[in-house]
Amino acid sequence: MQGVAERLPRLLALVPYLLVRPGVPIEEVAADFAITVRQLRRDLELLWMCGLPGYGPGDLIDLSFEGDTVTVTFDAGMRRPLRLSRAEATALVVALRALAETPGVADTGSVRRALAKIEAAAGQTDGVVLGLATREEAALATVRDALDQRCALHIRYYTPSRDTVSERTVDPMRLLLVEGRSYLEGWCRAVEDTRLFRLDRIEHVTTLDEPAQPPPHARPADVSAGLFRAQPDQQTAVLTLAPDARWVGEYYPVEELIEGEGGTATVRMRYAEPDWMVRLVLGLGGDVIVRDPPELATAVAQRALAALRRSAAAAVHQTG
């Protein structure tokens, strides 16, 4: 069994490698990474449990096996640049400094280079990280400038409920701060309607060399009662959340939240994409109980059983 120092860099490189080679033979992957097929399968099994903090949609990596080939079916956001809050940047710098001083680390040079890059991006005084130029802050500056200049914007926007990134041309109308979040409100030319775009979900924004021209009938949204508006085609899920999963009721719009015993909570929330909700529930593991609808509980059980069968088949293949 290989140690962390040898395995971690390979795990970080595997997903980008597989993303550009869907359906690649497992033997070819093993050869490219100079490891055995048995070791590669161990790595792939571990990747199933890897992702970003939160363990919700867009967090956990998913793989598909066809014969002796492998494809990444859900990349957990690894194709998008990593976003770090100030607290996360600070924690990462502290961890890297500790790792750089740990005896036995195979490549301290790489650790120190990574540390230098993060500290340069964050800025520091007396060894304390003061701030990180986040994408949200950059988007805010560009949007403000476009509003001042009355220019149109081109944005690349991530929608977590569908796990999709779309390209939009927007005529900006105003900036909003609602429930602690910053939003751009503007006329979206793609859907020919007024839309709200959360700034921390704007992956890239560019000011266009053309005037912003919202049509005369474009009206600002009434947010006095909150942002969430149920749509007729959305389904409703009722979930009981353990204390560690209560973040779901805070991060996603919910119609109702009922406090339970011991810090639990039951939420009623709407969703448009069944597959998105299945991934959300699976990512929460034992911290969630599906109360309704029955078809959601069935879909989650079927997806979990399919993952267990894949894992069992991989284990049989290894021992064989």
- pLDDT given for residue 110 in this prediction: 60
Amino acid at 212: A
Structure tokens at 241: 């959340």
Check residue 133 and give its pLDDT: 38
Would you state the pLDDT for residue 19? 78
pLDDT the model gives residue 13: 73
CATH 3.30.70 fits 4-81, yes or no: no
**Whole-number pLDDT of residue 248:** 83
Domain boundaries, the chain: 4-81, 91-129, 135-211, 235-311
- Please report the pLDDT score of residue 120 as a whole number: 57
pTM for the whole structure: 0.44
- Asked if 4-81 and 135-211 have one fold, the answer is no
pLDDT at residue number 141? 86
The per-residue pLDDT for 65 is 78
DSSP string, 117-143: HHHHHH-EETTEE-----HHHHHHHHH
Q: For residue 65, how far is the Cα from the chain centroid? A: 23
Instruction: Look at residues 242, 285, 280 and name the one whose alpha carbon lies nearest to residue 261.
Output: 242
Q: Burial of 264 by CB count in 10 Å (0-12 exposed, 13-18 middle, 19+ buried)?
A: middle
13-to-8, 18, 19, 47, 73 alpha-carbon distances in Å: 9, 9, 10, 11, 16
> Which pLDDT value is given to residue 238?
95
Q: Per-residue pLDDT for the chain (320 aa), expressed as one digit of tens each? A: 444 445 666 777 777 778 778 888 988 888 887 788 888 888 887 776 666 554 454 556 777 777 788 887 775 555 554 555 555 555 566 666 666 655 554 455 666 666 665 655 555 433 333 333 356 778 888 999 999 999 999 999 987 666 678 999 999 999 887 766 788 999 999 999 999 998 888 888 999 999 999 999 998 887 765 666 656 677 899 999 998 888 888 777 788 889 988 889 999 988 877 888 888 888 888 889 999 999 999 999 988 888 778 777 766 666 65
How many residues make up the chain in this entry? Answer: 320
Cross-strand pairs, 166: 157
- pLDDT for residue 102: 54
Q: Is the peptide bond before 293 cis (omega within 30 degrees of 0)?
A: yes
Q: Give 188's contacts (C-beta < 8 A, 6+ positions apart).
A: 168, 169, 170, 194, 195
Which CATH architecture best describes the domain 135-211? Roll (2.30)
